[in-house]
Structure 1
Amino acid sequence: MRSVCVWLVCLLLGGLLALPALAQNRPAPPPKKTRLLFLLDASGSMMATWETSDRWKVAQRMLARMADSLDAYANLEIALRVYGHQTPVNQKNCKDTKLEVPFAAHNAANIKKRLQQITPKGNTPITYSLEQSANDFPRDPNARNVIVIITDGLESCGGDPCATSLALQKKRVFLKPFIIGLGDDPGYAQQFGCMGQYYNASDIKTFQRVLDNVISIALKKTTVSVELLDDAGRPVETNVNMTFLNNVTDQPEYNFVHYLDATGKPDALEIDALLSYDLVVNTLPAVQLKNLNIKPGQHNVFRVKAPQGYLYLRQDAPTGYGSMTALVREKGSPYILETQRFPSQQKYLAGTYDVELLTLPRIRQTVTIRAGQATQVTFPPPGALNITQDLQGYGSVYQLFADGRQQWVWNLPGGSSKISLPLQPGRYRVVFRMKTAKGSKFTDVKDFSIKSNLTTTIKLFN
């Protein structure tokens, strides 16, 4: 028997010792594939002169060069959808859009060939093209779907590109789109800014720089660190859950438990810069940074003021209350922040809180929690009210105050006077009428005192 026990202990200890190694040696998840769709304007206005050329030829040349450079990337597929190129503008075709080159790896040759065969001529159905692009991306949960819209005009078919873009982002069809407006139309920023990340390419040199920058954002690694500051502004708080919340879908994208290394520095976390985030630091209560200004392709540091102290609920001995708890609220708030059990120690943000102990009667205190310190809350040991008579009737227990007021504490249950009830030290009153009594005037009232760790026995109608 002893050898079996020793074997089990060894097996258990071996498993526990292996857990950290397993956590550190766990294989990294496979890299996500990026699918990049160029949504290109080929409406009639793209034939307009632009510096020494026209907008269409510039777009052709820039996209061809970009497609060549993208062929070198692994885990990348590109595609081309064009709108406004199949029917003349006078036909007002608001469904003139087509996926000209489906997604594939090393797709540059196909895209360049198709660009040479297209002539701009029609309308600008941006909204409808966005809706159709949702079907261009294969269903793949392990992919980043990116759209780059290149246009020289506003929506001409009465659609709402902002609402459509937002709806498709919320469905996670694609990430926040990039929109490059060719030329210098003052209406671009208003219409395109709400669709995604808008860039104004007022000249050819800017267009080339913007296009390079967009690709860099889409494909380069971005990291962030979070410094949790104490009340002196020092980045020493740690071991707190953090959530990077997608503020378009309102869904969590990343959950981490904050970490400081041996030198006191937070680690660098890789995140997708194509999304828009709110950072939620899940202290009690939570702290939130809205609309993180993440610079893609580099390391970002965010500082959050999160000084914390402890609320220590002390219970010196068993009580008749059973499992004792306290309700913790931010000062003045009606909402419960935490239900904390006795005895325990829980971290909270430094501040002032209302603490309600579920004793009989309830004890309410306002406490101040200071950074790096423990604030202690306890309660006197209760005594007990004992009524041994089993009289059928109706009654309640009230607390008495020095100014003569009384406050309800408890109703006698089950229509019987027989109880053994734990109560905090103090002055009380029991009010009771038997069920068989023929009038309110036959109510009995008894005052009594409760002392810690002592039982007070009373007799009704005596």
Structure 2
Amino acid sequence: MHNNPNSDFQSNSQTGFSAQANQYRLPTLMLCFVFIFSALAYGQAGAEKPVKEPLKRILFVVDASQSMWGQWEGKPKMEVAKLLLSRVIDSLERVPGTELALRLYGHQFTYPPGRCDDSKLEVPFGKKNHARIKAVLRNTNPRGTTPIAYSLEQAANDFEGMTDSRNMIILITDGLEECGGDPCAVSRALQKRGVALKPFVIGLGTGMNNQLDCIGTYFDAEDSDNFATALKTALNQVSKDLTTLTVELTDSKGLPSVTDVAMSIYEQEKKVLAYNFMHTMNEKGNPDTLFVDYQPVYNLELHTIPSLHLDNIRLEKTTHNTIKIPVSQGKIKLSTTNPMPFGKELYGLVRRCGEETILHVIQGGQTADYLTGCYDVEVLSMPRLLYEKIEVEENQLKQIQIPEPGVLVLQRRSPVKGDLFVEYNGRLVWIYSLDSESVTAESLVLLPGNYRLVFRAANAKRAAYTREAAFTIISGKTKKVKL
């Protein structure tokens, strides 16, 4: 056994391999194992104190690029957009608990050439700024290019520090991205970071849905009537009934101390993804409050290793909802003498004890969180190492120390056919077949241990010409074998 005092787990033989022959070959990759917890047994949305309706913040991102001079029912598109948007802003002035902001793009620099940073928050969020937004719209003339991705990226700053509200973006445009950005990727990042919910996109014209619907919920406004309908529909979605939800990830003492875990919430009936959140502690050190539609029945997936599922979640509209999920975790670290001990990155396959399902692939030098319990780790070295029955305990680090390898150099003048074996308990265990076409030197990075080559000349016609070469690999040393 490798007696390394810095290692919590060592392999179970002198050469570091399991005695079970079927562990020397890579098992078939299987689907990730999950624990299924019923909502009744491990968590239930509980009714607590009355919930205050969250503030709604709506950012209008409006295209003011040169193409908005295009005619629409005998008028420039910009004029139609100004008129209909101003009417909507008038109506929102009478809606309590709603704040608006206006970002324009393509309005400051003339095209050509235009500028791809031509985007500005003209009216920030605030109370009773409706008249100011309408005045800015009224005095805006289309001029420049269409930096949609940059504008959405900057929109994150428009919501800076506004975590207590339901944040929405309504993008109004008549064209596609013209600055080489990826508005779809930017939109996904905004949603993943929790800056804003899925944006609404209103396209002024036809044929843009294939390029713009990846940004958010897309409305194709072929004329002014459709534009008005799209605005109304988007605002109705913004005004959907919401409730508040806190997800408490509890340790073995029942305290909500676990965080920094991704969560996916699915609508059970539709079987569609509704929300993604990264579990976060707020300024007070408590689990952050989420704003979600109260109506659907939800299934929640917690992306731990293994993942946890919580199904049949029903929320109350008029009360704050709390879900508690037991999540006791510890850590495993795959320690190596250097980042690439085998001339390439080293990986380990993590499974539950005695099971074939691969839960995770851990990289050499990496520390990863796992639910408490028993795990096997198969390291993809040469030969492979199997560390069995690793008990992960809460808040404890289990370190797996990989022995420093040595190097085997095979020298030959002509092609040979042969196999490389490791000697284990009086048996030869196959680990590698030689390159029968090569006449040059071949180098292999191997774990320390006793090995044997069985080979013959490639053109030999008798088994009697078989030869053997036994040798030992020592950590950090090079062994040359002439064939």
- The TM-score normalised by the length of structure 2 is 0.51
How has the CA–CA distance of structure 1 residues 315 and 254 changed in structure 2, closer, same or farther, with 3 Å as cutoff? Answer: same
Shift of 1:140: 8.6
> Which deviates further from its counterpart, 218-227 or 261-270?
218-227
Task: State the one-letter code of the partner of 1:227.
Answer: E
The aligned residue for residue 270 of structure 1 is: 291
3-state SS of 1:343 partner: coil
Task: State the one-letter code of the partner of 2:246.
Answer: S
Amino-acid identity (%): 29
How has the CA–CA distance of structure 1 residues 440 and 414 changed in structure 2, closer, same or farther, with 3 Å as cutoff? Answer: closer
How has the CA–CA distance of structure 1 residues 220 and 421 changed in structure 2, closer, same or farther, with 3 Å as cutoff? Answer: closer
Task: State the one-letter code of the partner of 1:426.
Answer: G
User: Following the alignment from structure 2 to structure 1, what is the Cα–Cα distance between the partners of residues 233 and 242?
Assistant: 20
User: Following the alignment from structure 1 to structure 2, what is the Cα–Cα distance between the partners of residues 257 and 419?
Assistant: 48
- Pairing 1:362–2:384 present: yes
Match of 1:351 among 373, 377, 401: 373
Task: State the one-letter code of the partner of 1:429.
Answer: R
Match of 2:460 among 428, 432, 437: 437
Match of 1:424 among 427, 439, 447: 447
Q: Which has the larger radius of gyration?
A: 1
- Pairing 1:407–2:429 present: yes
Shift of 1:449: 0.9
- Pairing 1:241–2:262 present: yes
- Pairing 1:261–2:397 present: no
How has the CA–CA distance of structure 1 residues 320 and 280 changed in structure 2, closer, same or farther, with 3 Å as cutoff? Answer: closer
User: Following the alignment from structure 2 to structure 1, what is the Cα–Cα distance between the partners of residues 431 and 167?
Assistant: 58
User: Following the alignment from structure 1 to structure 2, what is the Cα–Cα distance between the partners of residues 319 and 219?
Assistant: 56
- Decide whether the 8 Å contact of 1:221 with 1:297 is kept in 2: no
> Which deviates further from its counterpart, 336-345 or 301-310?
336-345
Task: State the one-letter code of the partner of 1:352.
Answer: C
3-state SS of 1:302 partner: strand
Once the two structures are superposed, residues 20-47 of structure 1 have per-residue CA deviations (whole angstroms, 9 ceiling, x without a partner) of 855625792069xxxxxxxxxxxxxxxx
Unaligned runs of 5+ in 2: 1-153, 171-228
Q: Which has the higher contact order (CA 8 A, sep 6+)?
A: 2
Once the two structures are superposed, residues 371-427 of structure 1 have per-residue CA deviations (whole angstroms, 9 ceiling, x without a partner) of 21211112111111112113212111001013x111111111253373211111111
- Decide whether the 8 Å contact of 2:418 with 2:436 is kept in 1: no
Match of 1:396 among 413, 419, 425: 419
Once the two structures are superposed, residues 330-364 of structure 1 have per-residue CA deviations (whole angstroms, 9 ceiling, x without a partner) of 22332222222111111121222111111100001
Once the two structures are superposed, residues 99-126 of structure 1 have per-residue CA deviations (whole angstroms, 9 ceiling, x without a partner) of xxxxxxxxxxxxxxxxxxxxxxxxxxxx
How has the CA–CA distance of structure 1 residues 234 and 314 changed in structure 2, closer, same or farther, with 3 Å as cutoff? Answer: same
User: Following the alignment from structure 2 to structure 1, what is the Cα–Cα distance between the partners of residues 232 and 330?
Assistant: 45
User: Following the alignment from structure 2 to structure 1, what is the Cα–Cα distance between the partners of residues 351 and 437?
Assistant: 35
Shift of 1:19: 11
Task: State the one-letter code of the partner of 1:249.
Answer: K
Where do 4+ consecutive residues of structure 1 move more than 3 Å? 18-23, 137-145, 218-221
User: Following the alignment from structure 1 to structure 2, what is the Cα–Cα distance between the partners of residues 22 and 220?
Assistant: 24
The aligned residue for residue 28 of structure 1 is: 167
- Pairing 1:291–2:305 present: no
3-state SS of 1:322 partner: coil
What is the RMSD computed on CA atoms of the aligned residues? Answer: 2.8
Once the two structures are superposed, residues 31-75 of structure 1 have per-residue CA deviations (whole angstroms, 9 ceiling, x without a partner) of 9xxxxxxxxxxxxxxxxxxxxxxxxxxxxxxxxxxxxxxxxxxxx
3-state SS of 2:358 partner: coil
3-state SS of 2:324 partner: strand
Write out aligned runs for 1:369-380 (5 A). Answer: 369-380=392-403
How has the CA–CA distance of structure 1 residues 224 and 296 changed in structure 2, closer, same or farther, with 3 Å as cutoff? Answer: same
Report the count of equivalent residues. Answer: 265
- Decide whether the 8 Å contact of 1:321 with 1:359 is kept in 2: no
The aligned residue for residue 330 of structure 1 is: 352
The aligned residue for residue 57 of structure 1 is: none
Unaligned runs of 5+ in 1: 1-17, 32-136, 146-217
3-state SS of 1:415 partner: coil
Write out aligned runs for 1:20-419 (5 A). Answer: 24=160, 28-29=167-168, 142=234, 220-317=241-338, 318-366=340-388, 367-402=390-425, 404-416=426-438, 418-419=441-442
Shift of 1:264: 2.5
User: Following the alignment from structure 2 to structure 1, what is the Cα–Cα distance between the partners of residues 302 and 276?
Assistant: 10
- The TM-score normalised by the length of structure 1 is 0.53
3-state SS of 1:441 partner: helix
Shift of 1:271: 0.8
Task: State the one-letter code of the partner of 2:380.
Answer: L
Shift of 1:141: 7.3
Task: State the one-letter code of the partner of 1:444.
Answer: R
- Decide whether the 8 Å contact of 2:241 with 2:293 is kept in 1: no
Q: Which has the higher helix share?
A: 1
